[in-house]
């Protein structure tokens, strides 16, 4: 009887579950969507219970497709960054969790920086204190949720919440620790004195584990709710971007993952600790490595918004043709020349993270006139996300870290047009190993290393990661994109004051 490694991905728009062979073939896969709530300007939150319902539903679909619970050799869970899941002693979520797009605690960041020291926080933890990180959200609970704060037993991340629901064990993997500014990325453990100084109770912090370490096994209750076999080993798991990087084969210095999920950006593998305030530094799920990341709010989510707001005709036609509306929007954008005839888009649809770190930044279309069409808007959106990628890559190079070939992942990598645009805009080749399954594959590899299916990460990547296509930059497009990129950069600088003013 064949055995499989199970990867579970807690994404922003949906959870995915996939069962992989030892050679990386996704034989069974399923997903379940859930909403993001935006109750106030700057707020973005989700219900952790819906994550769990999504996981249970996706697993039930795998059993219906023919996977048998006894065939699962191990489980790895990855998840979106910077959650702050407040749970009680039973592991029940006490409220919705603010997610990575949430910026409600901006004033708290300023207060902590003034009290503890902005420079000291950065030097100790490798990341600036921003409202999107978990730190400020925990302090926001203390100030704004006195009804739940005394009942908080631990603060979990998206993946560790699911790990607890599976195993009953409270855990914290190394790769997600960077979301809390009391985590020392040099020692890969909590700085307890700094936690107290910031105002995070030590009791909130679960023990830290290596990402591939088996932290528990599926309980009888979880087996009943999901159909999994009781006793199946579960590893600590990791950050979705880091698991995605592993799932496209990022193991060595300079190897780079290009992210095309809800968020955008890139993760460059480095072997020595190197922090830059404009970027994000996180431990890789692979021991001895870090990821210098550019993380943006505008990625695949931009096209999801375009589809919802401008793609009604494509949605109807897609149902008739049996293809996705995104593919039809791609076709529409492909009719517009590179540079979108001067239309430029700023993809700051939920503020922006690196490298500008402005929660008040707004999305902007510039260059419209009566000659422009929906196709111009769609192509400009694709190009705007590519410009944000280039901005982060240039910032990393300015910090002394060079990316060569980009390894694309996420749903956006299914678009040949968008992938080619990213190659043309950045001037870097883009390789696509496995787009939709890279993140769950990375989580499954963690499980495989943890339970001994693989002797190590190099063996696992050698067996599982297989490039499918390559996009070389088109030199003929370079001058056009360079011109629009300069305009992209200037637009933000010229409009920043107005963005801040309009946000109040």
Q: How many CA atoms lie within 13 A of 57 on its CB side?
A: 14
330 and 198 in one domain?
no
Q: Backbone phi, then psi, for 29, in 5-degree steps? A: -155, 155
> For tokens 């959650």, what's the residue?
83
pLDDT grade, residue 265 (50/70/90)?
very high
Q: By percentage, how much of the chain surpasses pLDDT 90?
A: 95
Average pLDDT rounded to a whole number, residues 225-251: 97
Grade residue 252 by pLDDT with cuts at 50, 70 and 90: very high
Mean pLDDT of 381-395: 98
pLDDT, residue 260, reads: 87
Q: From CA 182, how far away is CA 200, in angstroms rounded?
A: 8
458 domain-assigned? no
Mean pLDDT for the stretch of residues 51-63: 98
Domain residue limits at 132: 4-248
Tell me, yes or no, whether 183 lies in a domain. yes
Q: Which of 242, 68, 85 is CA-nearest to residue 165?
A: 85
Q: Report, as an integer, the average pLDDT of 394-403.
A: 96
Task: Indicate if 390 and 315 belong to the same structural domain.
Answer: yes
For residue 90, is pLDDT > 80? yes
Is the pLDDT confidence value at 436 over 80? Answer: no
Residue 314 lies in a domain: yes
Query: Confidence band (pLDDT; 50, 70, 90) for 261?
Result: confident
Please indicate, yes or no, whether residues 109 and 21 belong to a single structural domain of this protein: yes
Q: pLDDT for 456-483, tens place per residue?
A: 999 999 999 999 999 999 999 999 999 9
One domain, residues 331 and 423: yes
- Say which residue the tokens 């990129």 belong to: 485
Report whether pLDDT(504) > 80: no
Ranges 3-12, 320-329, 334-343, 387-396: which has the least confidence? 320-329
Residue 41 lies in a domain: yes
Give pTM, 2 decimals: 0.93
Task: State yes or no: pLDDT of 424 exceeds 90.
Answer: yes
DSSP 176: G
Residue 122 lies in a domain: yes
Secondary structure (3-state) at 479: helix
pLDDT at 106 > cutoff 90: yes
Q: How many angstroms separate the CA atoms of 133 and 485, rounded?
A: 28
- What would the pLDDT profile of 476-501 be if each residue is shown by its tens digit? 999 999 999 999 999 999 999 999 99
Q: Do residue 233 and residue 332 come from a single domain?
A: no
- CATH code of residue 380: 3.30.420.40
Total count of domains within the chain: 2
Q: How far apart are CA 79 and CA 165, in angstroms?
A: 14
Final residue belonging to a domain, choices 232, 248, 264: 248
Span 117-157, pLDDT tens digits: 999 999 989 999 999 999 999 999 999 999 999 999 999 99
pLDDT of residue 418: 97
Whether residue 336 sits in one domain with residue 219: no
Backbone angles phi, psi at 322, to 5 degrees: 75, 30
pLDDT at 434 over 90: no
Q: From CA 6, how far away is CA 60, in angstroms rounded?
A: 13
Give percent of the chain with pLDDT exceeding 70. 100
Say yes or no: 314 and 221 in one domain.
no
- Quick check: is 453 in a domain? no
Exposure letters 443-466 (e unless 16+ CB within 10 A, then b): bbbbbbbbbebbeebeebbebbbe
Confidence of residue 67 (pLDDT cuts 50, 70, 90): very high
Is residue 360 domain-shared with residue 485, that is, in the same domain? yes
pLDDT value at residue 435: 65
């Amino acid at each position: 009887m064949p055995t499989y490694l199970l990867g579970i991905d807690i994404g922003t728009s949906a959870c995915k579950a996939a069962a992989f062979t030892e050679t990386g073939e996704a034989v069974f896969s399923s997903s379940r969507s859930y909403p993001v709530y935006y109750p106030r300007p700057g707020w973005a939150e989700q219900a952790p219970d819906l994550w769990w319902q999504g996981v249970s539903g996706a697993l039930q679909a795998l059993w219906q497709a023919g996977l048998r619970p006894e065939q699962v050799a191990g489980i790895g869970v990855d998840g979106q960054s910077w959650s702050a899941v407040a749970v009680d002693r039973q592991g029940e979520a006490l409220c919705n969790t603010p997610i990575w797009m949430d910026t409600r605690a901006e004033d708290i960041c300023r207060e902590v920086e003034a009290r503890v020291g902005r420079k000291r926080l950065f030097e100790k933890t490798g990341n600036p204190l921003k409202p999107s990180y978990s730190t400020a959200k925990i302090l926001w609970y203390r100030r704004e949720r006195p009804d739940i704060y005394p009942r908080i037993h631990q603060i979990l991340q998206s993946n560790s919440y699911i790990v607890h629901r599976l195993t009953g064990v409270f855990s914290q993997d190394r790769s997600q620790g960077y979301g809390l500014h009391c985590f020392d990325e040099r020692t890969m453990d909590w700085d307890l004195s700094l936690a107290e100084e910031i105002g995070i109770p030590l009791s909130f912090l679960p023990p830290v584990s290596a990402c591939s370490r088996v932290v528990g096994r599926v309980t009888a209750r979880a087996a009943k709710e999901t159909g999994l076999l009781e006793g199946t080993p579960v590893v600590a798991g990791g950050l979705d971007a880091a698991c995605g990087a592993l799932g496209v084969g990022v193991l060595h210095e300079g190897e780079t993952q290009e992210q095309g999920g809800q968020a955008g950006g890139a993760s460059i593998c480095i072997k020595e600790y190197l922090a830059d305030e404009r970027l994000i530094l996180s431990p890789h799920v692979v021991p001895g490595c870090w990821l210098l990341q550019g993380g943006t709010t505008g990625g695949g989510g931009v096209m999801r918004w375009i589809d919802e707001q401008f793609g009604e005709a494509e949605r109807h036609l897609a149902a008739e043709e049996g293809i996705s509306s995104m593919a039809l929007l791609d076709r529409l954008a492909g009719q517009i020349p590179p540079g979108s005839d001067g239309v430029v888009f700023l993809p700051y649809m939920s503020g922006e993270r690196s490298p500008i770190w402005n929660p008040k930044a707004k999305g902007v279309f510039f260059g419209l006139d009566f000659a422009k069409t929906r196709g111009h808007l769609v192509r400009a959106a694709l190009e705007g996300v590519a410009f944000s990628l280039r901005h982060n890559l240039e910032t990393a190079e300015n910090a002394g870290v060079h990316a060569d070939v980009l390894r694309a992942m996420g749903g956006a990598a299914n678009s040949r047009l968008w992938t080619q645009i990213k190659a043309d805009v950045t001037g870097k080749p883009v390789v696509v190993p496995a787009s939709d399954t890279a993140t769950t594959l990375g989580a499954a590899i963690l499980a495989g290393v943890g339970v001994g299916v693989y002797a190590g990460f190099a063996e696992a990547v050698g067996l599982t990661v297989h490039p499918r296509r390559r996009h070389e930059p088109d030199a003929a497009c370079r001058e056009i994109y360079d011109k629009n990129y300069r305009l992209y950069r200037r637009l933000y600088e010229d409009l920043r004051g107005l963005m801040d003013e309009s946000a109040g």
